[in-house]
Amino acid sequence: MAARAIVAFLILACVWTFGIPARVAVDPDADPERLADAMGLPEVFDAPAPSRSLEIDPAPYRGAIERVEDVLYRRGPTGYGDAEAVEAATARLAEALLRAEGLRGRQAGLELMGFAGRAGARADAGYTLPSIVALRSEWEVTRARVFAPATWMRRASADLDRIQEPPPPPLDPDADTAIVEAEAALRRLMLRGQREAERLGEPIYDPDVPGRSDRGQIRAWYRFGERYRRQLDDAMARVERLDPEPHPAREPLRAEAVRSLREAREMLRRVPDGAGMWPTPFRPAWEARFRAAADALARAREQMARADGAPADAREHAGWNP
């Protein structure tokens, strides 16, 4: 949504700046570049890069500028909403310049909306925090292109980077052992669960009117499920107690291994689940869950082997044997 709004704004600014072009006798399909030249349209997706500042007086826009800088220069850790707040405040500032500053305002609006769009893209980039330090550095370049200097504009202190983006804490020294042991324990439980599912078997009952023997099969699956889930949680207990657990930015392979173990546990927890009105699972369901768990455990083993720096042909060592 933000990207579409920014593109619309850029097109509007270009039309406002250069006026409505005269009709031209150019086939747009045959020669689009010649058509664009004849219409006098620049490439609207690239913000202008003036060789010198537009030197717009920042005083009338001090409040709007400070709303941007209240986020970028805050003495506190980066938050998940920071990039969105910068995007919104910068877009409002661009609109104010567009209305009040004539041609320079339209050029400045393109600069600021380009920055706002990049801030929004950082906010949408995934589950990790955007770098507010990098965003602040980019803002200072954009600010210098648009505005004349002012003493009240913010400057970063020497320690601001560390305050906003402190280094992640060191890895828990027990992390590697916990991950390796959890993988081995889950693999043993997976094999045990496969044998138990074979023994209990598929549903042989009418789910609407189960008989006495049918109820026995349902109770057996239920007891297996309760016990199995406790065992799975026990196998992961040491990983869940890591403090801190592997940080994605600092220990990406170990962090991915922990995620893979959790995925494997979740797949195994679902093994006893039936579908719809069936309280116990059919063979295709439990076999698919075991396969998904095996794939996740294989990824965890591979990720830890890469984290340890072991060569591909030497990854089967004693610590990984189930």
CB-based burial label for 86 (10 Å; 0-12, 13-18, 19+): buried
pLDDT (tens digit, 0 to 9) for every residue of the chain, 322 residues total?
555 555 555 555 554 444 444 444 544 445 545 544 555 544 444 444 455 778 999 999 999 999 999 999 998 888 878 889 999 999 999 999 988 888 888 899 899 999 999 888 876 655 556 788 888 999 999 999 999 999 999 998 888 888 887 776 777 788 999 999 999 999 999 999 999 999 999 998 877 776 666 788 899 999 999 999 999 999 999 999 998 888 887 889 999 999 999 999 999 999 999 988 889 999 999 999 999 999 999 999 999 999 876 443 333 333 333 3
Q: Classify the C-alpha dihedral 302-305-310-316 as positive or negative.
A: negative
Every domain of the chain and the residues it spans: 2-164, 175-320
Q: C-alpha distances in angstroms, 156 versus 89, 99, 149, 152, 237?
A: 19, 30, 15, 12, 43
- Whether residue 259 contacts residue 242, with contact meaning beta carbons closer than 8 Å, is answered with no
- 181-230 per-position pLDDT tens digit: 999 999 999 999 999 999 999 998 877 776 666 788 899 999 999 999 99
CB 152, CB 100: distance < 8 Å: no
Spatial neighbors of 315 by CB under 8 A, at least 6 apart, are: 301, 302, 305
pTM recorded for the entire structure: 0.52
The tokens of 157 are what?
């202190």
Chain-centre distance of CA 217, in angstroms? 44
Please give the Cα distance from 140 to 148 (Å, whole number): 12
> How far is the C-alpha of 219 from the C-alpha of 197, rounded, in Å?
13
Report the amino acid identity of residue 137: S
